[in-house]
Amino acid sequence: MSLENFFAMGGYAFYVWTSYGITLAVLLWNLFAPIVQRKQLLRQLALKQKRAQQ
């Protein structure tokens, strides 16, 4: 079995690699989305607190 055959996936390469790509994108989204949301929330809370002190 050559490396070319491995990447060809028996004729199903497009579907296999597309599914890998989509899975990777979803996993990365699940990793980074909460971090971004937390930063936004902390920024909003700091702004509200600043307004309340004025």
29-38, Cβ contacts within 8 angstroms, sequence gap of 24 or more? none
Altogether, the residues listed in the chain come to a count of 54
Quote the pTM value.
0.69
DSSP state for residue 41 in the 8-state scheme = H
- Contact 19/26 with Cβ under 8 angstroms? no
pLDDT digits (tens, 9 = 90+) for 1-54: 688 888 888 889 899 999 999 999 999 999 999 999 999 999 999 999 999 998
Could you state, in order of their start, the residue ranges of all structural domains in the chain? 3-53
- Whole-angstrom distance, CA of residue 52 vs CA of residue 27: 38
